[in-house]
Amino acid sequence: MYYAKTSSNYEDHRRGSGDYIKIEPDMVLHSELNKNRSNAKGRRQKEGIPGIRYLFSGRRKEVRRLDDHRKNFFLDLFSLKVFSIIIAVLLLSVMDATLTLYLIRNGAAEVNPIMGHFLKYGPLPFFAAKYSLTTSSMVLLLIHKDVHLFRTTIRAKFLFIIFFVVFASVVLWELYLIFFALDKI
């Protein structure tokens, strides 16, 4: 047997007065009976892997409050601009690896000591290391793209542009070497 208070007046509620009505157990839904029990599942607790439903459809696309723009924040939806810059950087990285391997076959040397180490094991480990290092750095930068750099007002998302310019410059340099300077090496 359950009793429910019918008064919605604040003063009656504070004093403990008000009318009560008698509710039979068959009038109460089963979920209402179990909502306060410790073994019952809460309304926010779902079956499955946590966060998987937000993998392709997150909820936070931008910060709503002006004060939050001055803080570091994390979002789970990203713009098409950011996605296209990441794809462009990854494609430039693949072009860089391919052109580097071509130049090395024709007498050039790798000046990057980290990539030179992987080149000792062959072209496939070199290519895999180049792609995995670039991809992992892009993912980390994507996660932290709205974090301030070194306590300044500059956000980490501006590093995407820097990555793009650096990779584009390297690819242009390698194309210059192939078309104009390879005969002189």
Ranges 31-35, 79-83, 167-171, most confident = 167-171
Q: What is the pLDDT of residue 124?
A: 96
Say what the alpha-carbon torsion angle 124, 125, 128, 131 is, to the nearest 10 degrees: -110
Average pLDDT over residues 32-42: 52
Q: What is the pLDDT of residue 75?
A: 56
Closest CA to 145 of 91, 88, 93, 85: 85
Question: pTM higher than 0.75, yes or no?
Answer: no
Please report which residue ranges of the chain form alpha helices under DSSP H.
10-15, 30-34, 80-105, 113-119, 123-143, 158-176
Are 175 and 95 in contact, with CB atoms under 8 Å apart? no
Q: How confident is the model at residue 138 (pLDDT cuts 50, 70, 90)?
A: very high
Closest CA to 167 of 109, 93, 94, 85: 93
Q: What is the pLDDT of residue 72?
A: 54
**Alpha-carbon torsion (63, 65, 69, 73), positive or negative:** negative
Query: CA geometry: angle at 121 spanning 116 and 127, to 5°?
Result: 70
For the stretch 90-125, pLDDT in tens is: 999 999 999 999 999 998 899 999 999 999 999 999
Q: Would you give the distance in Å from CA 20 to the centre of its chain?
A: 52
**Would you state the structure tokens that stand for residue 184, as one six-digit string?**
């002189």
Q: How far apart are CA 128 and CA 119, in angstroms?
A: 10
Which position has the higher pLDDT, 154 or 32? 154
Q: How far apart are CA 40 and CA 85, in angstroms?
A: 46
3-class SS string, 7-26: CCCHHHHHHCCCCEEEECHH
- Containing 2, the helix (H) or strand (E) segment is strand 2-5
Question: What is the CB neighbour count within 10 angstroms for residue 3?
Answer: 9
**Would you state the structure tokens that stand for residue 28, as one six-digit string?**
């109460």
Q: What is the pLDDT of residue 94?
A: 97
